Amino acid sequence: MNVALLAVDSKYPNLALMKISAYHKSVGDSVEWYNPFDKYDRLYMSKVFTFTPDYDYYINNVGGEIIQGGTGSNRMAAVATRT
């Protein structure tokens, strides 16, 4: 499985993304930072701060799940835009 990680509000990894990375590497998955030109099976997006802007670019290279979370993530807004 190809897994991508995206820190929405920083260029540096946060602890949650590093733990997700460690888990997927332990089960043999390929893990890398999100690149809009590569194909992935799963994307993890993490946002720590509420005052930073969301990732507003179109994501069309993920064949499976896009999992968004973190203390700065507004999940209700994301659900409302998908319906």
pTM, 2 dp: 0.80
Give the number of domains in the chain: 1
Looking at residue 30, what is its pLDDT? 96
Strand boundaries in 13-77, DSSP class E: 30-33, 40-46, 62-69
CA–CA separation, 54 vs 39, rounded Å? Answer: 21
Domain residues for the domain of 36 are: 2-82
Q: Is 24 helix (H, G, I), strand (E, B) or coil?
A: helix
| pLDDT tops 60 at residue 83 | no
* Structure confidence by residue, pLDDT tens digits, 23-81: 999 999 999 999 999 999 999 988 887 777 777 778 888 888 888 877 777 655 544 44
Q: Is 61 helix (H, G, I), strand (E, B) or coil?
A: coil
